[in-house]
A and B are shown apart, each in its own frame.
Chain A
Amino acid sequence: MEKYVFIIGATSDIGMAIAEKYAREGYDLLLGARKSERLLPAQSDLQIRFGIRCNLLELDLSQTATLAAAWNSLERKPGISICVAGYMQDNDEVLRDTNATLQTIESNFTGPVTLLNAIALDYLKNGTGVIAGFSSVAGLRGRQSNFIYGSAKAGFIAYLSGLRNKLFHHQVHVLTVLPGFVYTKMTAHLALPGLLTATPAQVANAVFTGIRKKKNVIYVKWFWKWIMCIIRMIPEFMFKKKKL
């Protein structure tokens, strides 16, 4: 497989960390973002530090109609595609605002799915490739504090699981990443529990290893698996009374 990685949502802290990890390992990069000019400093940085090629791609996941064409127009296609893109806003605000609702669903579900469909068809045809998608532990059970974001992420979990099932038979691997808490700009205002919270670099390492070892679903910090296991087992009649 060609050492060329596509990172969708590269301006995020996690996207940047993954870009650096793969550059360090000698992979060329295609960085996709809504305002790709914001990535110009990162592009020069990665090329100078690691001697790799880094290309940029303007990509707006809310413009679903343009996404397949953006992928298909690439001359050189990356063999690994990692979708980090996501958008989270306060749930009560989203609840009252139709545009915010649509944006939450588009950025976390419709957009990624539309783009990954085009990529998956290509990989399927060639019988090689890896797709990694970032969902969230919020997608494992709807909670009052973030269920709109969570439901879009839940849809994405189901999509990745089905895609994995389909592409398995064509030697294409699909990885689902459920990172738990991560120290990023998106969470800078929250007080996060240190033990449960990963750094972007830890997430990047976990993704790199997960892809190399063909893992199916990874949580960056191992106890998240068990925490979510317990949360999912709470009966609904009890769960609905909780303030989570």
Chain B
Amino acid sequence: MKKIIANWGNYPSIESDEKTFSFPEDLATYVGREDRFIARGYGRCYGDASLAAKTVCTLQYNKVLSFDTKEGIFECQSGLTLDKILPIIVPKGWFLPVTPGTKFITVGGAVGSDVHGKNHHVDGCFSAHVMEMDITGHDGETHTCTPDDKADLFWATCGGMGLTGVITRVKFRLKKIETSYIRQKQLKAKNLDEILRLFEENKQYTYSVAWIDCLKKGKGFGRSILILGEHASVEDLPAGKKEKPLAVPSGKQINFPFNLPSFVLNKFTVKVFNFLFYGKNMKREINNVVSYEPFFYPLDAILNWNRGYGKKGFIQYQFVLPLESKNGLVEILHRISDKGIGSFLAVLKVFGPQDDLISFPKEGYTLALDIPVRNGLMPFLDELDALVLQHGGRLYMSKDARMKPEILEKGYPRLDEFKSIIRKYNPESKFSSLQSERLNLTSR
């Protein structure tokens, strides 16, 4: 069916002939017949990675295949979303090994983007927990791969943006939990130096992330709130919650009903928002026990919150810089606050070591910020790209809708190896997206 599709940033949007499938033979037929398409799940990557004139939607291919409640091993078809997995595993004392800030992503998407979470410095990316997966290749055949068997296919698929084929089945390890609650600590940092010091001092925490105010200048430059968390034990729970330590939160949602007009988000309103957000934590330190839902998925409570950025959409700009490039982080933050581009709070995190073929994370600082699409934005982002490269960093393909191919090439040292694996498994560029064409990962 032809329809207009866009990913979470609402930029760009494209008319696409979308096909769904429920059975593997239907997918094999589609792959055999069609050309130049890309697999698409929930469309929660931000840019143009899962956009193409032809898309094959995995959302109907969403069955749970096995769940070993003793060993914590979960196996499912690739279109299953994390929000459907949590109510199955949490009551049995298991949690996702890695989760991004939204539960509305498919398992196939988690692999294709090799997503990271607040525990990256401890547990790595999603791919670190994948034991085995199936990929329907350009020949329509199913290829099973593991980190050791057909390892080239496996590692080019983790973070490979769907360019090796359609991921159809994933088997992965879960994380043992005693309760569904998180023991949370929030610390206020007055400026950038303090927040970076706090990250270092608290790196033993499993989960850590900071909300940073990118618009604040002067003494309070880089003021932030650091959020730390550990899975709570039964003893940590208040009396009323001890009887049902593995309760699944109800997950009520409110809807953002329409696109906010573009003028609503401006330097002033965002400053006020950030002031209130920072100011709401009166004390320097807050300790409490919360359900996993508000801790991991605060924005999932508002359906379609992306409409807040207006009809033109927004870019989520996310980069990582090596630890030694703290100056680079300062410089980029200064550029953003000088420019005064309206972004709500940005997210800052320190990644742990990782050195995979094409996955985004590597040890260092990562910053993600939402910027509404406006005239003049793209040249400004090109300037930021140059700074990111100059300081040894790179950008996240799952957030990207506009970077130039040379930015990708210089940021990912093993890109040539990745490209040669793509040529091996996707020789005719059958799997191809707007992004892969823009970045010269597939032929045009």
Contact = CB atoms under 8 A, between A and B. Distances in A.
Interface of A: 11, 13, 16, 38, 41-42, 44-45, 48-49, 185, 188-189
A45 B65 contact: yes
Contact of A44 (B1, B19, B20, B64): B64
B404 interface: no
27 contacts: A11-B22, A11-B23, A13-B22, A16-B22, A38-B23, A41-B63, A41-B65, A41-B77, A42-B63, A44-B63, A44-B64, A44-B65, A44-B66, A45-B63, A45-B64, A45-B65, A48-B64, A48-B67, A49-B64, A49-B84, A49-B88, A185-B20, A185-B22, A188-B1, A188-B19, A188-B20, A189-B1
A185 B84 CA distance: 23
Contacts of B63: 41-42, 44-45
A185 to B, nearest CB: 7
What does DSSP make chain A's interface, helix, strand, loop or mixed? helix
Contacts of A185: 20, 22
B1 to A, nearest CB: 6
A225 to B, nearest CB: 28
A38 B65 CA distance: 13
Given A49-B64, A188-B1, 17 more contacts: A38-B23, A41-B63, A41-B65, A42-B63, A44-B63, A44-B65, A44-B66, A45-B64, A48-B64, A48-B66, A48-B67, A48-B88, A49-B88, A185-B22, A188-B19, A188-B20, A189-B1
Nearest to B77: A41
Interface in B46-89: 63-67, 77, 84, 88
Pick from A16, A45, A49, A189 the residue with the most CB of B within 10 Å: A45
A130 to B, nearest CB: 27
Contacts of A41: 63, 65, 77
Interface string B244-269: 00000000000000000000000000
A18 B20 CA distance: 19
Contacts, number: 29
B89 to A, nearest CB: 10
Contacts of A13: 22
The 7 residue pairs across chains A and B that have the minimum distance between CB atoms:
A41-B63, A45-B63, A45-B64, A48-B64, A48-B67, A44-B65, A38-B23
Nearest to A192: B1
Contacts of B1: 188-189
A11 B24 CA distance: 13
Interface string B5-29: 0000000000000011011000000
A109 B350 CA distance: 65
B423 to A, nearest CB: 32
A185 B19 CA distance: 10
A231 to B, nearest CB: 27
A38 B77 CA distance: 14
Contacts of B88: 48-49
Contacts of A189: 1
A45 B74 CA distance: 12
B122 to A, nearest CB: 28
A44 B66 CA distance: 7
A35 to B, nearest CB: 9
Contacts of B23: 11, 38
A21 to B, nearest CB: 16
A60 B23 CA distance: 19
A188 B77 CA distance: 22
Nearest to B169: A41
B55 to A, nearest CB: 14
B69 to A, nearest CB: 9
Contacts of B66: 44, 48
Interface in B309-361: none
Contacts of B65: 41, 44-45
A48 B62 CA distance: 13
Pick from A11, A41, A189 the residue with the most CB of B within 10 Å: A41
Contacts of A42: 63
A38 B67 CA distance: 19
Pick from A13, A48, A49 the residue with the most CB of B within 10 Å: A48
A50 to B, nearest CB: 10
Nearest to B85: A49
A166 B66 CA distance: 44
A45 to B, nearest CB: 4
Nearest to B19: A188
Contacts of A45: 63-65
B166 to A, nearest CB: 16
B333 to A, nearest CB: 45
A188 B84 CA distance: 25
A191 B419 CA distance: 40
Contacts of A49: 64, 84, 88
Nearest to A47: B64
A49 B83 CA distance: 13
A113 B64 CA distance: 34
A188 B1 CA distance: 7
Nearest to A45: B63
Nearest to A44: B65
Contacts of A11: 22-23
A44 B23 CA distance: 15
Contacts of B20: 185, 188
